[in-house]
């Protein structure tokens, strides 16, 4: 390491203008005052020291390669002899991707160091540093974060290119560097063409490797566009569902369990459903049926909630399609589903227990000065899926209670209970997600995460949106959510987080304006109230999420 002096801590805009920067988060005061986007602050340690290992290795290799084989002539007979090289090839700290593909070495023998080729790509470095569940600096061997089959796929050049396109796109958005985006889009286009070719020979294709590339295509779209504005996102998502359906059918035929990857995508698919106004797609229905049908699973606890979620989606779709309109019947059905989720939480196994710790950080990254400690990242993720689903269920309950002309004492109790549940679930989402922002709350490093586990930032956005706009949540929770989404947008380069910030504001304004005590109401949809003043009468209309 070479010491390079003490660099300025100011953001790029303040350094260019040669003014003092107060380094506030998420943006400095000077940038806010002039209406510029603050590019953020540099890593001081990284700038203080320059890693010269790679340059030294290149120089050493260039010298050694010229002296490996020498031709020596004999002065007596004029014949040439090839001498044995006296200098051996040095053991390289970096292995080229093409060599690792051709030799296919055992995973345990792969040299994983700071100079390994994948980490030399800025896009892959950004992805591993900011989009992985556990940051790179917390582990000695990032390969250990993924199951063997995922690693074998990840070290292949094509998959690395897909990962690189995502990382470069995020880095481009975070640094406002259009050149990086050009490179990212080229790599993204190459990945699309590769996926199309592999789909043309689906019989011989590696379905899991293909699915990983499609997941990268989905994330690329999430980084660059709002979910509803991207037709490509829907195409990729439906393609992923089709591949997962193929995997689920194969598991069923071969008597294999439902994987954590499939369970994770089950919840992600239903997030997509709630983002759209349409009824559940055929692919989603078929995939859900296959997940439900397979009794073998890698996680029985997470699978136990699947059946409840499917029934909620069916009920929700029936209400949306006007097939189920009686508010009293809807309230009864929704309350029954919420009771089942409550029993699921009450009967969780001991290894799903988490601890609430005090952790008040000056930068405000912890929520209410607390964080959650989980034994496994997977468990924290499943908890947050459960929490946002339960918020939506109780909001549906409140909305249809408000449609009823008269509320009994039992209905009033249900209403108060629903508001408490929404507040508790939203608080737990924020406390849990605050643990991700500095990655210091895992009791132990997880040894078996679901495949493609390194995308927590994208899984944070939806729970934050649901929590921040939840009916009755306090102002400070709402403000904290907006702050987290702003960080994900500006510092991590995920532009869809900006859209979700605006939608969170709209959700909150709707329920505030709705006045949950309104007694004379009508309903023409199923999600999120908006009060319209018509003379002296208050009329409540239910609107979709967006």
Range 1-49 classified under CATH 4.10.240? yes
Q: Is the pLDDT of residue 426 over 90?
A: yes
> Mean pLDDT, to the nearest integer, of 256-265?
86
C-alpha dihedral (334, 336, 341, 342), degrees to nearest 10: 120
130 touches 93 (CB < 8 A): no
Q: Is the pLDDT of residue 120 over 70?
A: no
> Mean pLDDT, to the nearest integer, of 192-214?
88
Top-confidence residue, 391 or 260? 391
- At 181 the pLDDT is 94
CA angle 178, 179, 180 (to 5 degrees): 90
User: What are the domain boundaries of the chain?
Assistant: 1-49, 299-475
- At 113 the pLDDT is 33
> Mean pLDDT, to the nearest integer, of 184-204?
91
- At 296 the pLDDT is 84
* Model confidence band, residue 506 (pLDDT cutoffs 50, 70, 90): very high
Share of the chain above pLDDT 70, in %: 68
> Mean pLDDT, to the nearest integer, of 268-278?
78
> Which tens digit of pLDDT belongs to each residue from 363-384?
667 888 888 888 888 888 899 9
- At 8 the pLDDT is 81
- At 207 the pLDDT is 86
* Model confidence band, residue 58 (pLDDT cutoffs 50, 70, 90): low
Q: How far apart are CA 233 and CA 218, in angstroms?
A: 6
- At 457 the pLDDT is 77
Q: Is the pLDDT of residue 101 over 70?
A: no
- At 395 the pLDDT is 95
Q: Is the pLDDT of residue 55 over 70?
A: no
* Model confidence band, residue 474 (pLDDT cutoffs 50, 70, 90): very high
> Mean pLDDT, to the nearest integer, of 409-429?
95
Q: What is the mean pLDDT of the chain?
A: 74
First-to-last alpha carbon distance for the chain, in angstroms, is 51
- At 373 the pLDDT is 87
Of 85-89, 394-398, 414-418, where does mean pLDDT reach its minimum? 85-89
Tell me the CA distances in angstroms from 306 to 293, 295, 299, 321, 386, one per residue in order. Answer: 11, 11, 11, 22, 10
* Model confidence band, residue 229 (pLDDT cutoffs 50, 70, 90): low
- At 147 the pLDDT is 37
> Which tens digit of pLDDT belongs to each residue from 278-335?
677 788 888 888 888 888 888 889 888 888 988 998 898 888 888 888 999 999 999 9
Long-range Cβ contacts of 536-540 (<8 Å, 24+ apart): 540/402, 540/403, 540/514
pTM comes to: 0.69
Question: Which range scores top for mean pLDDT: 296-305, 514-523, 533-542?
Answer: 296-305
């Amino acid at each position: 390491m070479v010491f390079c002096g003490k660099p300025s801590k100011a953001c790029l805009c303040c350094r260019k203008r040669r003014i003092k920067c107060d380094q506030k988060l998420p943006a400095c005061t000077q940038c806010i005052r002039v209406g510029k986007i603050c590019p953020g602050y540099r890593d001081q340690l990284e700038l203080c020291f320059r890693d010269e290992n790679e340059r030294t290795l290149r120089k050493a290799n260039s010298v050694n390669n010229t002296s490996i084989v020498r031709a020596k002539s004999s002065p007596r007979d004029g014949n040439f002899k090839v001498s044995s090289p006296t200098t051996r090839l040095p053991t390289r700290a970096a292995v080229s991707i093409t060599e690792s593909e051709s030799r296919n070495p055992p995973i345990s023998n792969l040299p994983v160091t700071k100079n390994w080729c994948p980490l030399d790509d800025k896009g892959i470095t950004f992805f591993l540093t900011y989009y992985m569940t556990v940051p790179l600096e917390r582990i000695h061997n990032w390969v250990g974060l993924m199951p063997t089959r995922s690693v074998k796929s990840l070290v292949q050049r094509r998959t690395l290119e897909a990962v690189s396109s995502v990382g470069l796109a995020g880095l481009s958005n975070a640094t406002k560097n259009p050149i990086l985006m050009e490179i990212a889009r080229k790599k993204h286009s190459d990945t699309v063409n590769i996926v199309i070719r592999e789909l043309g020979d689906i019989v011989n294709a590696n379905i899991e490797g293909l699915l990983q590339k499609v997941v990268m295509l989905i994330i690329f779209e999430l980084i660059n566009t709002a979910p509803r504005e991207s037709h490509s996102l829907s195409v990729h998502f439906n393609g992923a569902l089709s591949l997962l359906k193929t995997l689920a059918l194969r598991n069923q035929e071969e008597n294999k369990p439902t994987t954590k990857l499939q369970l994770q995508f089950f919840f992600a698919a239903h997030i997509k459903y709630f983002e759209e106004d349409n009824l559940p797609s055929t692919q989603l229905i078929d995939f859900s049926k296959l997940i439900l049908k397979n009794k073998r699973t890698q996680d029985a606890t997470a699978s136990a909630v699947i059946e409840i979620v499917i029934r909620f989606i069916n009920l929700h779709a029936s209400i949306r399609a006007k097939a189920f309109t009686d508010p009293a019947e809807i309230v009864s059905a929704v309350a029954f589903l919420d009771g089942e989720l409550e029993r699921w939480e009450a009967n969780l196994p001991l290894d799903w227990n988490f601890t609430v710790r005090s952790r008040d950080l000056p930068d405000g990254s912890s929520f209410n000065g607390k964080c959650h400690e989980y034994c496994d990242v997977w468990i924290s993720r499943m908890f947050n899926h459960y929490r946002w689903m339960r918020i939506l269920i109780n909001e549906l309950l409140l909305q249809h209670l408000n449609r009823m002309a008269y509320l009994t004492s039992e209905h009033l109790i249900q209403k108060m209970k629903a508001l408490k549940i929404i507040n508790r679930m939203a608080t737990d989402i924020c406390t849990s997600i605050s643990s991700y922002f500095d990655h210091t709350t895992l009791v132990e490093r997880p040894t078996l995460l679901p495949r493609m586990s390194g995308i927590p930032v994208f899984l944070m956005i939806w729970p934050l949106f649901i929590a921040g706009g939840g009916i009755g949540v306090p102002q400070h929770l709402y403000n904290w959510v907006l702050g987290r989404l702003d960080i994900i947008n500006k510092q991590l380069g995920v532009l869809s987080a900006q859209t979700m910030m605006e939608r969170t504001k709209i959700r909150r304004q709707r329920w505030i304006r709705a006045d949950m005590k309104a007694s004379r109401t009508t309903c023409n949809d199923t999600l999120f109230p908006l009060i319209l003043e018509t003379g002296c009468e208050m009329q409540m209309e239910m609107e979709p999420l967006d």
